[in-house]
Structure formats: C-alpha cells, structure tokens
Chains A and B, each alone.
Chain A
Amino acid sequence: MNGKNFHAIHITKDKCIGCVHCLGACPTRAIRVRDGRAVISDDLCIDCGECIRVCPHDAVHSHTTSFAALDAFEYKVAIPSTVLYGQFGGTVLPTEILSALRRIGFDEVYDLSSICELNCAATEEYLNEHPRPRPFITSTCPVVVRIIQRRYPSLCGQILPIEPPREIAAKILRTILPKALGIPPERIGIIHLTPCPAKMVSINSPATLNKSYLDGAISIRDIFPQIISALRKSEEDALMRHLFPETQFSGIGMGWSLSGGETRGLKNHRAVAVSGVVDTMRVLDQVESGLLQDIDVLECTVCPDGCVGGPLEVENRFLAKSRILQLVSAAGERAVVDPRDVSRLYHRNFLSFDHPATPVESRPLDHDPTKAIRKAARRDRIFAGLPKKDCGVCGAPDCRTLADDIVRGQARLADCPFVEPMGKKKEKR
C-alpha cells in the first residue's frame, strides 16, 4: 500500500456506468472513460475528491481505514479533525463528541484545537525568522502539497516547513504514550478522523516526512452512525460533559477547518486564504508568475470553504460552518498553549518537515525536446480539426485533452464521434 503511487480514490467498477460527470469535474483531467468505465490516471490524480462529489452512482470509493481494522491495536487513540464538531447540530458540545468516541471503542481521544493553536504560533515564529521568500504556502491540505509538487514545482521551496496539526499531535502522542502507558509503540494505534480522502494519501506516502506518525484515517462519514447512536444513548453523560468539560478548547484553533482559520491567529503577518481547487490553482499560477510577494503566508485548501467542505463529511458544509463559527465565538480568543512550549518544540525542530517537498517529474509530451516540439505542433493541428464541443463521448474530458492523448499515443482520432472518416486521412501520423 505504501509507495509513490498510493491513491485513496478508486472507481468501483460494477457501479460505474461510464457517464461523463467525473471527467469534467476533475481539475487535473486525470479521468478517462475506457471500455465503458471510468479509469483514473495514477500520475495525474491528486486525490482531491471532486469526483466523489459529482458521481451520481456512488461509484467513486475512497480508501480510508475501517473501524474494524483498529482491532489490530491494543490501545486505540483518536484525533478527530475539528470538522467533526460541526457535524451534530447546534447543541452537541465538542466534549460530548469526544466522550462518545470513547464509548464506541477508543481508549483515548484528543482534541486538535490546541495543536492548531500551537501550529499557528510556530508559523508565526518561522515567518519572523525567514523574511524570504514570499509568500510561504501552508501545508495543511495534502492536496495542495501534491498540486505544487506536480504542477508548480518551482514553488516547492515556498511550502512552509511546519507539519500540520494532525501530524504534530500524533508525533507528540507517539513520543509520550508508550512510556506513560507501558505499551510498545507499535501496539498503539493513532487514528485521524477525517473529512477528506487525501489525508489517507499523506499517511501512506507522506510528502515531507520519512514516515507518518498516524496509523490511519477513518472517514467521518463512516464513523458518524456509531457516534450519533452513542450520543443518543447518554443524556446523563451530556449533562456531565456540559457541567464538567474535560478539555480546554482553544479559541484560536477551533476555527482551523474554516478557510482562513489556519492563519487567523497570526499577529504580525499578512495572510491570504484561498479555498476550492480551481481558485487554489489560479492563485498558485499567480504566485508562480511572481505575484503576491507582499503576502507573508498563503493558506490554500482545495475543498470549498476549507476542510469543513470535505467530501467525506455528513452535515452540509454550510450548517457545519455555522456550528463551528458558534463554537469559535463561544471560545473567544482563549489560548490554551504556552508560547514557551511552542518555542521549545520549534527550536528542537520537533515541528519541522523531515525533508522538503520535492518536485514530482512532470509529463512532457516527449523527453526529447525536438520530438516534444513536433508533438506540440501536431497536437495543435489535431485540436483545430476537433469539434470543441467537449462532450466527453471519446472518453476524454474535452477536445484539447483528446488531442493531447492522441499525440501521447493514448487515444485515436477515431475516438471522436464527430470527426468524419474522411478527416482521419488528412491528419498525418
């Protein structure tokens, strides 16, 4: 499962009917319909999950950890994304949700809002110490890191090299728990609860760590039914959690999953937050053209509105966002992390990447520059003869991509239903 080409997103063959919805939705044009079924290119897929959102036949499956797989561990720890707090309507408090997770089988559950606050303080410190380059780009969204490695390789050095809260939290627990519990590290399972499939990819093939500190990621959608039934069964528990909350939630970290939440706590730096995969790519294009140098840090998340818009959540993102904003406002500016602890961890490089994200080889038309030039010219000629209806019947998302596939030897002009048989002869091979 480990390795460069691990992907969390797969097509379930017997559900796919070969329609064209996912073709057009894919921002990297990674999907083709071949022999009546969608096929995802391993080289191009960035695991953003846009195809999951649009598939009308539930044929796009995301490969996340199953709850049953946790039985392999003697001690099970959950660190849920703060998105989870927005999934249960307007009165259920985070502390009840954490308690419900314990009741369904986790031995311990840790809130991430405090670690989000820690990450923000570390980011501030890093920006203070590194006046250049600008802007830095945060690494919380694993899809953004993968887009940069593949499409904007020259920006790899601008990824802010502080690990995201989920990895920092897992690293802290992995350091502390084995000694505290007297259980060997490999028998402690540390699991993230996630609204997005890409976290699974960052766990299986991390871009900036030698090995992830997490053992897996369970989709919020998969674990939701168990949490909701545990919540229903326990009114007394709810009352107790309301009166004796067990955790101090961080006001600075609580809104982390909303676009802009990662950088909201920065005091001395100018941040810009972008969400949505198309807008993220547009802004990264601008950064690559030398713009936005007056911005200190750019927060990009490919899901709309931030992680709260993840494809694997249950509640619609507008309600979830509203609930989280309520919690943010209730927590106020409450800080729960001692800045001296942050500084200590930061200067020990405990929060840093193991290594920078490196460019992933791009796909030129040909590795021989002269041949690539010839193929590009041929691609233009082919495209000129296509109908530009972008209908998807050929199996490619649009005419331009079909022309590209043809010169790469992955499709034929005859795949286009609009091209007259006569037309085929005109195109020189």
Chain B
Amino acid sequence: MPAPEAVFRQDFSVKGGDFAKAGTVACRIKELLKDLGLDAATVRRAAIAAYEAEMNVIMYAWEARVDLAVSPDEVHITVDDRGPGISDVELAMTEGYSTATPEMRELGFGAGMGLPNIKKNSDILHIDSRTGKGTRLKIVIRRNGHGAS
C-alpha cells in the first residue's frame, strides 16, 4: 500500500447471525469503489469477495470488523472475526465442502462455495485462523488483476 494519504480507509462491523442485514456491508463497499472510480469488473470481483466474506461471518462467527483500504491500484479487504475458527483451512477451501447447518442450507446458503469464490475473485487471499478464537481473512484485489471470474 502506498502512503497513507493516498489510501481510502473505512471500517464496518458485522454481527454473527444477523441474516436480516446480510449483504449490506458488501453493498456499501461496492458503492464506495464505484465512487472511487474503479472499473466495473474490479468492483464486481470485490463485491463478490466481500459478500462471501460477510456471509461467512453472519453464518459462523460472533462478530467481525471489516477493514476496507483502497489505493489507486489495489483494494484490500480484511475481515477479522471472533468465532470458532476454521480447523482445517485446506478442507474449507474445497469447492462444495461446508459445515452449514440444515437450517442454513434451507435458506440457500452452505453450498460450500464461500472461500473458493473469494479465492477465485481475488488476487491474494490469506487465511489465518485459530480454533476457538477467530479467523482473519486478508483479501487483495488488484485493478485489472488476474482473478477475474
């Protein structure tokens, strides 16, 4: 990231279990990126990644802070949650793998595409998880990056 004055930052909070507000943070991030003049394809990748990350918090964690940092070339989305953590990150990255409850599946969630979708739409994805404590996702999306879906 370049010098602080060339970076736009905003943070948001997400509450676990708050399905009624599902997607609002992703939407606000999308609006901001459009205001900042990012191209439509980059905005869409960021919107998809942010939405999936937000939904993971709502479905599995207790609460999270989402930090958005935008420079002229990159979008960084960091999601820091307090929650159960992911015991096997590699398994969680497998398409179709999900620990969603039957209730969540009834709502149409839990297809096991969350993390794989974030990976597909981002240029860098770091997952740092501690069981019983929480998970930190670091997502980087580059303008005109390769992660286009």
Interface residues of A (CB under 8 A from B): 153-154, 285-286, 288-291, 294, 359, 362, 364-367, 369-370, 372-374, 376-377, 380, 404
Contact = CB atoms under 8 A, between A and B. Distances in A.
A286 B23 contact: yes
Contact of B37 (A289, A291, A372): A372
B35 A376 contact: yes
Contact of B40 (A154, A373, A376): A154
Nearest to A290: B48
Contacts of B117: 290
Interface stretch (B12-20, B24-32, B95-103, B130-138): B24-32
A153 B38 CA distance: 12
17 contacts: A154-B40, A154-B44, A285-B23, A285-B30, A288-B44, A289-B23, A289-B26, A289-B27, A289-B48, A290-B117, A294-B108, A362-B34, A365-B35, A367-B37, A372-B35, A377-B8, A377-B9
A289 B51 contact: yes
Interface size of B as a range: 20 to 34
Nearest to A153: B40
Contacts of A288: 30, 44, 47
A373 B108 CA distance: 37
SS class, residues of chain A in contact with chain B: helix
Contact of B43 (A154, A372, A404): A154
B37 A380 contact: no
A134 to B, nearest CB: 13
A376 B6 contact: no
B7 interface: yes
Contact of A373 (B23, B30, B34, B72): B72
A91 B108 CA distance: 45
Given A285-B30, A373-B71, A365 B36 contact: yes
- Residue picked from A290, A294, A362, A369, most chain B C-beta under 10 Å: A290
Nearest to A371: B37
A374 B5 contact: yes
Most buried by A among B9, B36, B108, B117: B36
Given A285-B27, A289-B26, A380-B10, A369 B48 contact: no
B41 interface: yes
Q: Lowest 9 CB-CB distances: which A-B pairs, in order?
A: A364-B37, A369-B72, A289-B51, A154-B44, A153-B40, A290-B48, A373-B8, A154-B40, A372-B36
Given A290-B47, A364-B34, 10 more contacts: A154-B43, A289-B27, A289-B48, A289-B50, A364-B35, A364-B37, A365-B36, A373-B36, A376-B36, A404-B35
